Amino acid sequence: MHELSIVQEIITRVNLQRGKDGFSKVRTIEVACGRYSCLSEEQIQSCFDLAAKPSCMEGAKLKLIRSPARYRCANCRTEFADEREDAPRCPSCGAADAVSAIDQATYIRALEVE
């Protein structure tokens, strides 16, 4: 269950930020992830609800923000974003079969705190 390791990292990073900023309560955590990430908002929220007790994050809402898919053309090395469901064409050289997805990291995009 990779959700648990992601949730543990989120909790660690929020606690580090809390040490810097001194907030007492977290209301919302926006987590950015790639379009093709296997993360489920329901599953990650359930893991978070269990792992965040008791802490300043108890009861916080996790929101997953999906980033557009990013690609790199294997032919000309151009990087580009594309939101279509079908295989994208490189905007520079037009290659259709020479495109690979770029792995996008999962990270905390924003915190709503008190």
Query: What pLDDT does residue 96 have?
Result: 83
Query: What pLDDT does residue 1 have?
Result: 52
For residues 93 and 89, give the distance between their C-alpha atoms in angstroms, rounded to a whole number: 8
Query: What pLDDT does residue 110 have?
Result: 97
| pLDDT tens by residue, 49-61 | 999 999 999 999 9
- Contacts of 66 by beta carbon, 8 Å cutoff, 6+ apart: 33, 34, 35, 37
pLDDT (mean) for 63-86 = 86
Query: What pLDDT does residue 68 have?
Result: 83
pLDDT at 4 exceeding the cut of 70: yes
**CATH of 2-113 among 2.102.10.10, 3.20.10.10, 3.30.2320.80, 3.10.129.10:** 3.30.2320.80
Closest of 92, 2, 16 to residue 44, by C-alpha: 2
Closest of 80, 75, 81, 82 to residue 97, by C-alpha: 75
Mean pLDDT of the chain, nearest integer:
89
pLDDT (mean) for 44-48 = 94
**Residue type at position 109:** R
